Amino acid sequence: MPFKFNDVQDLLNEKKKKAVVQKYKGSPNFCRMFVSLYGLGLLYFIFNVWNRLNEIGIGIKLRMVIISLLFTNIYSFYSASKKDPGYLTKENVETVCKMYNWDGIYYVKKDCYTCNFIKPARSKHCSICNRCIAVYDHHCVWINSCVGLRNYKWFMMFLLTFIVICGWGSSVMFQLLVRNHNMHEVYKMKRFDIRSNSYKNLTDTDTVMPKSKVLSSTDSSVIQNEPTDYFYKPEDASKLSKEKWELAVEEDLINPYRKPSLSNTKMYFSF
């Protein structure tokens, strides 16, 4: 029996019906992986490096500063991941609506049909958390939470202290590496073998650079009062009319949410 075109079309339609598109619904695995790597690195530093800090002239005062930064980093990470990022509810949505006006381009006055209340300007419904977030920036898999109005300061503090700690740790490891090389101990210790380029794994460069990029982007978002999500796409860009889209790309378009840098920073740190 010959195979007809209609049979092929029916087969394709049947496959489309069976195809299921699954959205990422969030997972704590990235957060757990980061905590595990963080803990292993910290244990290595405590048992293999801490007692050798005096060899490169690091005294008790600087050690206390690093310990303080370490505790600040851990607490800010916990706060960013566990505290309310700015969840919108029917009780607080009216208060948040008064913070910003809708610009009619990126943020249009309309309801969130999932949460069943009006969407304030600069808010967004996170498909992963399934909640509306005030002053939504992005959903971070490393803290397994959104970054929004109420945990923005903790997220920034975590990034800043993490970069300082990694940078200081890289400097310490490099100084110890050079010292061992000068004492001809490097040839007795395979883990410090420069010829195998193993020292690269000890310097945290691959960790510091991405974190620095995230921090610079976050700092820019705070100073200019433009969340990360603002840079990538306007809300419902495909639904915007041609007139609105042309206006949105004009060079002289003024961001209505941009305030003086100090005012922007103060706003985020006041929550």
Which residue is listed with tokens 């705070």? 222
- At 269, list the tokens: 């740190």
- Give bridge partners of residue 111 from the DSSP assignment: 118
Q: What is the DSSP letter of 83?
A: S
Tokens of 152: 């923005």
Which of 31, 132, 140, 146 is catalytic? The answer is 140
Residue 192 contacts residue 143 (beta carbons within 8 Å): no
140 is catalytic: yes
In contact, 7 and 15? CB cutoff 8 Å: no
The two tokens of residue 28 are 């704590």
Burial of 126 (0-12, 13-18, 19+ CB in 10 A): buried
Active site residues: 140
